[in-house]
Structure 1
Amino acid sequence: MEDPASALIRADLVSDVFQAGCREGRWRVVEFDYPRLDFKVSAIKTDGEATEYGFRADLTNYPGVAPEVRLWNLEDNRKPTAQERPTGGTRVTETFKDWQDATIYRPWDRHTGPHSNNAANKPQLAWNKQRELAFIFEDLHGILVSNGRKVAPQAPA
């Protein structure tokens, strides 16, 4: 019998919102083997080059327990080196800093939410059991493409 959390995750992965992000090339699932979800999210580097970053999520007891998401080198199955981490503006560097729990530093993360009252201070970004995986993927994608605003040509005034 399938774990109820696994069934809920599978439903999220085929939802219209999630699948739209896949079709548009914003993200893609690499592998799902409950409770682990490996995925990639498209990004723009500070020089304007398109790329993508890998992530590993632990979705144990989803959605009642917040996901634990780590930046991950999926090809080599390891934590990325400092040179492999996303760079850019404050949002990028703060989100992907290598901090004590090594997870993504966002209020929706299992470890970051309680750290420094992040979830309480930013409830609009905190995890709750009504959220779907697309919420996390959209947040990560928005941060990872934020460098594009810095390199986009400016319209004449």
Structure 2
Amino acid sequence: MTLNVLLLKSHSLMNQTVRRMLVPLLTSIVLMGCSSSQSGPASVTETSVARAELTDRIQFIEKYVTFRRTYEKLDYDIMYQNNGGGMVPAPSDWDIQLIAVVPETEIDDWVPANVQKSDVSAPEWLEGLPGEIERHGIAEWYRKSGTTVGVDRERSIVAYRSTSTPD
């Protein structure tokens, strides 16, 4: 056999070996990317109008916030987009807005740690929230990296917004 024939045969064998290794590897990568499992809660756009009972509202909102609080009344507007289920997972997007009547003893739990009160007026998103909870007495405002909290201590009302796209 000539050197050319030997080189062609060894090249052909090497290509077959590489193909045998790469095809299963690439197939598994593609299948993992197409997987329908996603981490985190499902994507949703919902207001509190969709749920009449306070307990249902609390159970729903606790899927989209990391804290647990006590509510006497609760209204919200939530947009959550879970971007973790695609071929290339991406960070989720959210805009969680709520207004609530809470126990007087829990008002300070809502204020972000080490944040000073801001001298700002009520934000526009507050007026767009559904429900009957009075919002005109909210005078204390706190802001910290995408989170805004407003407090009406006299009536134990809290307004809260967390967004992945801060102003």
TM over 0.5: no
Q: Identify the TM-score tier after normalising by the shorter chain.
A: under 0.3
Normalising to structure 2: TM-score of the pair? 0.24
- Structure with more relative contact order (C-alpha pairs < 8 Å, separation 6 or more): 1
Structure of higher CA gyration radius: 2
Q: Which has the higher strand share?
A: 2
